[in-house]
Amino acid sequence: MAKILCVLYPDPETGYPPLYPRDDIPTITRYANGQTAPTPKGPLGFKPGELVGCVSGELGLRGYLEKLGHELIVTSNKDGPNSEFERHLPDAEVVISQPFWPAYLTKERIAKAKKLKLAVTAGIGSDHVDLDAAARAHVTVAEVTGSNSISVAEHAVMMVLSLVRNYLPSHGIATYGGWNIADCAARSYDIEGMHFGAIGAGRIGLAVLRRLKPFDLHLHYSDPHRLSPQIEKELDLTFHPDAESLVGAVDIIDVHMPLYPSTEHFFDDRMFAKMKRGAYLINTARGKLFERDAVVRALASGRIAGYAGDVWFPQPAPADHPWRTMPFNGMTPHISGSSLSAQARYAAGTLEILQSHFGATPIREEYLIVAGGALAGTGAQSYKLT
């Protein structure tokens, strides 16, 4: 019998289950790159469209795991030495966590987790796991690659429009009884004709570029691996060999590169100094890619015109985190990849990974980040060890 330790975000403050505004969600069976959506065997343990990413939702896993005789612990209490997470960690064979509410698997915690064999990210982005330490301890790390790429891409597109058109302040004026059109319009532009640059043109970055094409922007990107000539032609893309050359050429900068040790604080005062005055920044990748106070300084000085995103460090962000209150921000808690539509896929993908683990069958290559003591699968393409 194995112990599965699952860390999920807390239930809604209004109680669980919520009253759902809709009765169903579209069924997505395949992603843009041809990869199939998760295909677990047998019943799912939830109805797609239900809130399963929070503690009471349990990713719908309890029935499957208990039928096999395993023990499932679900908690949101994840930080500090007295947390429920630390208490159960020494006995856990499997840890499941989410980027939205990450249970940071540091090297110290991995050293304590003597029975740990598998760390699953119910979502995408396994930077909350010390991948070097996981590789050394021969812990397999897997994530549900592709499960929420479009969810994040849609969120990024929403943030591009809401920042440039000054949507949030204008909505605030309407909500609080105002009607000063000039106050709304004084920072509102069209995106048509602007230059837009994606840093990282993988699953999410490319999906954003495709979605913005009909808006008649000039599209740019930088990525260590160049896209195919067909895609560059189809989207009329300008390629930049590095992020430095891109940031000075565009009006809107959209970040979709992974966080690993050498990309930490990639965006600092030096990078902001290279940007056009009044550039907009969107970051749905990871908070630590940006130096926290450099963002605040760039907004306060007018070097950039707006910053929006849903990723912070640490998570949850403390109540006094300056990104909550800095001017011209469009921040949300980390929600872009946890829409109800995304949850249906990452919960099904988590079940599929567990079925492989307990059935002793190979985990899909595209879900692997670390296996056999080294980066593997998607991890070998997207991450670097120190």
Which residues bind to ligand NDP, rule: CB under 6 A? Answer: 99, 123-125, 148-149, 152, 199-205, 222-225, 243, 256-259, 263, 284-286, 310-311, 334, 336-337, 381-382
Closer to ligand NDP by Cβ: residue 187 or 288: 288
Shortest distance, position 126 Cβ to ligand NDP, whole Å: 8
Beta 368-371 vs 304-309: how paired, if at all? unpaired
Closer to ligand NDP by Cβ: residue 25 or 65: 25
Closer to ligand NDP by Cβ: residue 166 or 378: 378
Catalytic residue of the set 203, 220, 256, 334: 334
Shortest distance, position 241 Cβ to ligand NDP, whole Å: 10
Catalytic residue of the set 98, 166, 283, 315: 315
Measure Cα distances from 222 to 196, 239, 244 in Å. 11, 6, 9
Rounded CA-CA distance 239/211 in Å is 18
Helix axes 203-212, 149-164, angle to 10 degrees: 50
* CB proximity list for 176: less than 8 A, separation 6 or greater: none
Shortest distance, position 112 Cβ to ligand NDP, whole Å: 26
Question: Does the active-site annotation cover 286?
Answer: yes
Closer to ligand NDP by Cβ: residue 76 or 283: 283
Catalytic residue of the set 155, 203, 240, 286: 286
Shortest distance, position 274 Cβ to ligand NDP, whole Å: 15
Rounded CA-CA distance 270/258 in Å is 20
Q: Which two tokens stand for residue 3?
A: 């112990």
Q: How many CB atoms lie within 10 A of CB 14?
A: 7
Rounded CA-CA distance 178/162 in Å is 19
Question: Does the active-site annotation cover 334?
Answer: yes
Catalytic residue of the set 88, 98, 109, 148: 148
Question: Does the active-site annotation cover 136?
Answer: no
Least Cα distance to 358 among 12, 177, 118, 180 occurs for: 118
Question: Does the active-site annotation cover 315?
Answer: yes
Catalytic residues, which ones?
148, 286, 315, 334
